[in-house]
Structure 1
């Protein structure tokens, strides 16, 4: 396999920061000595947590996503705030999205320690995947929560209904471990 020569940053054209993202424009010289203006968005890293309780996947109800103009079924997930560990953020996300208290999280196991790069020509971030085993009995779970059996058939159904590509990727990563 041929190793690609790194590109050289010649100048920064723009850096615009907001609480949600940073827009960066750079003039680069590629591995063939071409000059390119390259624009990218850097976002806070994110976490997706596969949540299980008593042999069932437990998901929050679908929520409306303005970017796709429809409700989306997702595992609990969200951004990791600055100066917060992925584990701490994941615990808070699970509690917030499933209306739980931290003591109901029996275990929180990372699927990756460094985060997977989510890199496209326009966006850069890391995705951290976790599996959480929860102490939630059916009579104590939120009535809006959705469940799918942790079986081959349940996973197949879930894969047809999950909208979020990152959620699907984390589920498939967990499945193939």
Structure 2
């Protein structure tokens, strides 16, 4: 249900809509509750997924897990190589679950048969939204069977899924979305 203040905002016109494979750029004039006409620009992108891969260690002896990270990759937006969890956009016609499985295959070489559980951290997606950008983020935890064949060339590092491991990893991650997925998992696994 819309609040009274939300009802007072009106879109007067859309003066630009530019589509590409990756995004849509929109320019609009909005009228605020005081009657002032404001120019707003925003980008709409496909929703995205971030996957926290957890390798089951020998559950008989230790009962612990390790967090897997792919090799760092160059991020044009920040102009440097960063350490991130597997992830990407949700292509049109694909579910977030399918996109998560594709990201694991593409970024760390894990086949779907090696995934023992794919656990969504949210079913509705989190709004990654500002006045300029609009999308949803779907976070997942993927339990990877301990017999999965890991590809050393695709793997950067593993961290223990312990308080110390999570704290160390948080110091290494600069991606806010990756940090949010890690912290959400840590809070609910508590």
TM-score bracket, normalised by the shorter chain, equals over 0.9
What is the aligned partner in structure 1 of residue 28 from structure 2? 26
CA offsets 1:35-74 (integer angstroms, 9 cap, x no match): 1011000111000011100210011011111221111100
What is the aligned partner in structure 1 of residue 45 from structure 2? 43
Instruction: Give how far 1:4 is off.
Output: 5.9
Instruction: Give how far 1:121 is off.
Output: 2.1
SS in 2 for 1:24: strand
Instruction: Give how far 1:126 is off.
Output: 0.4
What is the aligned partner in structure 2 of residue 65 from structure 1? 75
Instruction: Give how far 1:11 is off.
Output: 0.7
Matched, 1:78 2:55: no
Instruction: Give how far 1:137 is off.
Output: 4.4
Which of structure 1's runs of 4+ aligned residues deviate more than 2 A? none
| Consecutive unaligned residues in structure 1, runs of 5 or more | none
User: TM-score, with normalisation over the residues of structure 2?
Assistant: 0.88
Matched, 1:172 2:176: no
Instruction: Give how far 1:83 is off.
Output: 1.1
> Residues 98 and 119 (structure 1 numbering): CA distance in 2 closer, same or farther, change over 3 Å?
same
| Residue of 131, 150, 155 corresponding to 1:141 | 150
CA contact (8 A) 1:21 1:44 kept: yes
| Residue of 102, 107, 113 corresponding to 1:103 | 113
Instruction: Give how far 1:96 is off.
Output: 1.2
CA distance in structure 1 between the partners assigned to 2:128 and 2:161 by the alignment = 27
CA distance in structure 2 between the partners assigned to 1:10 and 1:67 by the alignment = 32
CA distance in structure 2 between the partners assigned to 1:136 and 1:15 by the alignment = 48
**Alignment root-mean-square deviation, CA:** 1.3
CA distance in structure 2 between the partners assigned to 1:64 and 1:124 by the alignment = 23
